A and B are shown apart, each in its own frame.
Chain A
Amino acid sequence: MSESGRKVVIGIGLLLATGALIGWSYGHVERGLLIAALLILVWMLRSLIIFERSIHSGEFNAFQYGDGIWQQMASRFRYERDRGDRYKSQRLQLLKEIRRSTRAMPDGAIILDEQLEIITCNRAAKTLVGLKPKKDRGQRVDNIIRDPALTELLRADDPTMTVDIESPMQDSAWLNCRLVPYGAGQKLLIIRDVTERIRLNKMRRDFVANASHELRSPLTVICGYLDSLAGDAAVPEDLRQPILQMQAQAQRMSIIVADLMQLSRVESSGRAGDEEHVDVTAVLTAAARAYAGLESSPDIQVEGDASIRILGITREIESVVANLISNAVRHTPKSGHLKLCWRKAENGAELIVSDDGEGIAEEHIPRLTERFFRVDRGRSREGGGIGLGLAIVKHILQRHDARLEISSTPGQGSEFRCCFPAARISAAT
């Protein structure tokens, strides 16, 4: 029992005893006790009522002095209340700061529940996609942002997948959307303004396409004159060698320009059509035959499953095969072996070009498909590679929903594997 509690008990005991004593002196002990008890009750009731009123008004003036149980209770109450207020204002401050930071975020964030209905969003989401947080609460998010690509993203429910959608608020602005799991069963839809990135990409593509197009016509003229000069018997002997070199370099340049144009074409067009049934085995055989007669080419083996076809564009698959083979031939000695394989795989089919040539160091593999990337800058000049082949391969495969996997061990050879999904495969008719 606390100090003040004991005091109260002692005080009440004393009062009752006094009442009993006075009552006894008059000969009525029980009346004295009763009056004392009533007095205590009245006093307690009065204190209780004042205390109750103090709680409501928040002023504890009546209990300011002394150290009785009521004063103790009042000060305890006041202390707890102040502490609660302090906590509350701290929490509010924190909440305000969190709100302020989500509001300052340039990316839109929308919190969705399991049914993909909107719970809340930040300010950027309001301006980027025109959400009205109060009105749209409980709406499915794709009822407000109605881009088919976004619906696809919501259905796929894959945190690594992102889609670019056109902004519903602004003409020719682009938004990148991503759905990540959040909290218990909730989802967070993150929306980022990528207009600038898309514009830059487009500018780069347009530039490459225009530049290579503009370069082609003068090159054709130069090549034409050089060809006729090289065959002209009237050209003095001391000019013959320079002209032959010029001719070789001009041809090399036209190949580069042609590759650049092809690259910009496959890059800027969307998904490849799937009307043609490409007979990959025939393509592989034809490509192998083209190299068979060459002096420097290694032994080429073809292993094709003629029963499966790719649904895609023949010309582009041919280009993939040609690029992969010419790379492999370039990096394999004459005594080496090249294997072309076309077969069914787990989810679709795969086209494999493998060699036992010099191989590629591991750190170079991720950069192989970058344009103009060359492992060995010094040697590739005379080898004829210009570093566009694998970039073209990558983009063509992307257009066919396929992907390129490269594995290699230096000194033992490399393997280039193109994996086509089942949707792109058909049985031969």
Chain B
Amino acid sequence: MQASDLTQHISRRFNEDLEELRNKVMAMGGLVESQLSKAIAAVVSGDSELGLEVANDDYKVNALEVSIDEGCSRILATRAPAAGDLRLIVAIIKTITDLERIGDEAEKIGFLASRLAAMDRPPDSYRELKTLGMHVLQMLRDSMNAFARLDDAASIKIVHEDERVDDEYEAIQRQCITFMMEDPRTIKRVMNVTWAARSLERIGDHTKNICEYVIYMVQGRDVRHTDLSESAPEK
């Protein structure tokens, strides 16, 4: 399946509907990306206003999800798409669910940022959270790029990237436990840090799901819960 395949229908209206739907998904992706990026910036710079702004803007993501969902149902009902088109619609329906969840996690991080801003800041100003956050943000960006370009090879790479995110999360958790054991007074703050890290790790998982939908959309096979090494792109 190629990006240009979308414009190969006899009905021009159908082409436009599909294009519009895809553009909306990308717009939603962009919004979620900027939400996540702002949330991370809020944690790192201790900017409680920015954190609350992220939390308050989550409704925009939700509104987009509802509107895209509607568009998908309309196409399913009126066009009865088949093959690549059907896979595209199915992938979109699943992708926006994950994007919406990512938006929720970003909202959560925004909240935590505003809470963390009110507490003592550690000397490293949450460097480990920033590293993990940047990693996850890059994954999200790459996965949306893969979705736009229908790039299954890139998707497979991103799915593997998620393992490294899990490792980083594990390391942060260990570090947090050490802090809490050393000085119980930091428990309140460090708990918030673990929650933020947990949210970032969840975002990594959702991103991985999106990549799996991309592979499904391009190759037509479901790679969820399977060993990905088998699913090298067919040439």
Contact B149–A147 (Cβ < 8 Å): no
Contact A168–B141 (Cβ < 8 Å): yes
Interface-located stretch among B26-34, B110-118, B161-169, B191-199: B26-34
Contact B149–A269 (Cβ < 8 Å): no
Contact A146–B26 (Cβ < 8 Å): yes
Considering only CB atoms, which chain A residue lies closest to B27 in the complex? A151
Chain B 136-153 near chain A by CB (<8 Å), digits 1 or 0: 000001001100110100
Contact B149–A135 (Cβ < 8 Å): yes
B4 touches A (CB below 8 Å): yes
Considering only CB atoms, which chain B residue lies closest to A171 in the complex? B134
Q: How far is the CA of A140 from the CA of B27 in the complex (A)?
A: 11
Contact B26–A142 (Cβ < 8 Å): yes
A10 touches B (CB below 8 Å): no
Contact A144–B148 (Cβ < 8 Å): yes
Chain B 84-96 near chain A by CB (<8 Å), digits 1 or 0: 0000000000000
Q: List chain B residues, Cβ under 8 A from A171.
A: 134
Considering only CB atoms, which chain A residue lies closest to B60 in the complex? A148
Contact A139–B148 (Cβ < 8 Å): yes
Contact A147–B26 (Cβ < 8 Å): no
Q: List chain B residues, Cβ under 8 A from A144.
A: 145, 148-149
B3 touches A (CB below 8 Å): yes
Chain B 48-81 near chain A by CB (<8 Å), digits 1 or 0: 0100010000000000000000000000000000
The contact size tier of chain B is 20 to 34
Q: List chain A residues, Cβ under 8 A from B31.
A: 146, 148
B186 touches A (CB below 8 Å): no
Considering only CB atoms, which chain B residue lies closest to A271 in the complex? B53
Q: List chain A residues, Cβ under 8 A from B145.
A: 130, 144
Label chain B's interface by main secondary structure. Answer: helix
Q: List chain A residues, Cβ under 8 A from B53.
A: 270
Q: How far is the CA of A269 from the CA of B49 in the complex (A)?
A: 9
Q: How far is the CA of A139 from the CA of B3 in the complex (A)?
A: 8
The contact size tier of chain A is 20 to 34
Partner of B30, one of A136, A138, A148: A148
Q: How far is the CA of A150 from the CA of B33 in the complex (A)?
A: 13
Q: How far is the CA of A82 from the CA of B140 in the complex (A)?
A: 56
Contact A143–B49 (Cβ < 8 Å): no
Considering only CB atoms, which chain A residue lies closest to B130 in the complex? A171
Partner of A147, one of B19, B30, B151: B30
Considering only CB atoms, which chain A residue lies closest to B16 in the complex? A115
Q: List chain A residues, Cβ under 8 A from B19.
A: 140
Q: How far is the CA of A168 from the CA of B22 in the complex (A)?
A: 20
B37 touches A (CB below 8 Å): yes
CB distance from B115 to the nearest CB of A (A): 20
Q: List chain B residues, Cβ under 8 A from A142.
A: 23, 26-27, 30
In addition to A144-B145, A146-B144, 13 A-B residue pairs with Cβ atoms within 8 Å of each other are A130-B145, A138-B3, A139-B3, A140-B19, A143-B22, A143-B26, A144-B149, A146-B27, A147-B30, A148-B30, A150-B30, A166-B37, A171-B134
| Residues of chain A at the chain B interface (Cβ within 8 Å) | 130, 132, 135-136, 138-140, 142-144, 146-148, 150-151, 166, 168, 171, 269-270
20 A-B pairs whose Cβ atoms sit less than 8 Å apart in the complex: A135-B151, A136-B149, A138-B4, A140-B19, A140-B23, A142-B23, A142-B26, A142-B27, A144-B145, A144-B148, A144-B149, A146-B29, A146-B30, A146-B31, A146-B33, A148-B27, A150-B30, A151-B27, A168-B141, A171-B134
